[in-house]
Amino acid sequence: MSNLESYPPVFRPLNASPAPLLPELNKHAMEDSSSSSSVPVPVPVVDLQCLSLEKLGEACKEWGLFRLVNHGIPPSLLIKLEEHVKMLFALPFESKQALVTNPLSYFWGTPLLTPSGAALRGALNINLLEGINVPLSQLPQFQAEDPRLEDFRHSLEEYGRHLSRIATTLFEAMLKSLNVCPQQSESGLDESTGFVRLYRYPPRPLADEAWGMMEHTDSSVLSIVNQDRVGGLEVFKDNKWLLVNPISGTLLVHIGDMMQAISDDRYMSVKHRVRVDKQEERVSICYFVFPGKGTVIRSSKYKPFTYTDFQAQVQDDTKTLGYKVGLDRFKLNAPV
């Protein structure tokens, strides 16, 4: 099988009709590409085994991002999971559509999904990515006849338990760093909301003409990213885009919109994007976790809202405007 057959048809370079559309659809996102730095930057490092509230707080305030070491996930699990992800994405496009069934979902062209896991159409730009959405609380319901997928499910379940532990530990430490009473943020992070997104980004010889993922902030409380050796993640800091290289065995933790609101804007949701590589495809394994259902987020900066309110507004903005507005919709002085 040609590797091209594993990609959604719109991504196949030899498919002449849609391919020329991609640079045009992504044109506005490239306007500030000259401000990018190709030199990797050393992001703050946080050690989970020797957790310093001072270092954690500083990283969240100054960067909205940090590299996590000594996280306790066995290296063998990380290697095995990456192998599974690459195996699954290498299957023919039509096979993935057939194999990835409820409660999992397969999508491409956009990272924005509906609550049911379907791709949310309406965004202004095509993102050069394909993905698999995995709601961890529903993963035991996934039944696969293919033994490879069954082994994959077990690996994901084990990985999910580790990420839930890490996210809970970090969130509790962040509340202490912020001097926030735990009762005030009860259910501010609910492990049952956690899900994993598996992403693959195809290579493109003209990589500067398209992005794997457009600039955005995550809607989550926390996002935890495990990227392969190819890299391509860029973060926006001090009015410029900075390249964040992968380091084997480490994880990248992003502050999301919900954590920014919980912190009264003391922690900032990091703006980031993914640049596709010219020669190699890239895969990443991302974990997202959210506030409990019905939990009202109260802040001096924003109107009281729940994540359900926020999610509905993001979906509506994407359908009507073509992009996510985010927390600005909930600011106290925001127009109705």
Note the pLDDT tens digit of each residue in 133-190: 999 999 999 887 778 788 999 999 999 999 999 999 999 999 999 998 766 666 689 9
What span, in angstroms and rounded, lies between the C-alpha atoms of 172 and 195? 19
Please name the residue that has the structure tokens 């992504």.
26
Higher pLDDT, residue 111 or 194: 194
CA 192 – CA 291 distance, rounded (Å):
9
Model confidence over 30-85: pLDDT tens digits?
A: 444 445 555 678 899 999 999 999 999 999 999 999 999 999 999 999 999 999 99
pLDDT single digits (tens) 55-67: 999 999 999 999 9
pLDDT digits (tens, 9 = 90+) for 269-326: 999 999 988 889 999 999 999 999 889 999 999 999 999 999 999 999 988 988 899 9
Query: pLDDT grade, residue 205 (50/70/90)?
Result: confident
- Asked whether the predicted pLDDT for residue 21 surpasses 80, the reply is no
SS3 280: coil
Question: 36 vs 74, 240, 311, CA distance in Å?
Answer: 34, 6, 30
Beta bridge partners of 135: 195
The whole-number pLDDT of residue 183 equals: 61
The whole-model pTM stands at 0.91
**Closest by CA position to 209, among listed 8, 41, 21, 23:** 23
> Which residues of the chain form beta strands (DSSP E)?
36-40, 45-47, 65-69, 105-108, 130-135, 190-201, 211-216, 222-227, 233-237, 240-243, 251-255, 272-275, 282-290, 296-297, 305-306
- Tokens 């809202």 appear where? 305
- Average pLDDT estimate for 259-276: 95
